Amino acid sequence: MFIFKKLNISNFNTVNVINMSGMFNCCSSLNEINISYFDIKNTTDMVGMFYRCSNEFKKKIRSKFKNINNDVFEKAFH
């Protein structure tokens, strides 16, 4: 198991990613990530992307991405 507190994913090419569900599931130690580079125009499923992450981390993501859907935080991925 890996425990990350900070991830640099600025070089991720997400233009063709359709499903990001559960991508950062259980990221309880993660407290810094920048997903502003993500191109999600083709993404159809982000349910549970940040499911079971710390409440502090969720607040940071919500403050940076005002239009993010609650399903990204609240529902388990499939």
Per-residue pLDDT reduced to its tens digit, 43-62: 889 899 888 888 888 888 88
Name 45's bridge partners. 19
Q: Which of 36, 68, 42, 41 is nearest to 53 (CA)?
A: 68
Residue 32 has pLDDT above 60, yes or no: yes
Between these two residues, 19 and 26, which has the higher pLDDT value? 19
Sequential DSSP letters for 14-78: -TT--B-TTTTTT-TT--EE--TT---TT--B-TTTTTT--HHHHHHHHHH-TT--THHHHSPP-
The token duo for 66 is: 């005002």
Q: DSSP secondary-structure letter at 6?
A: E
pLDDT score at 17: 94
Per-domain residue ranges of the chain: 20-31+46-78
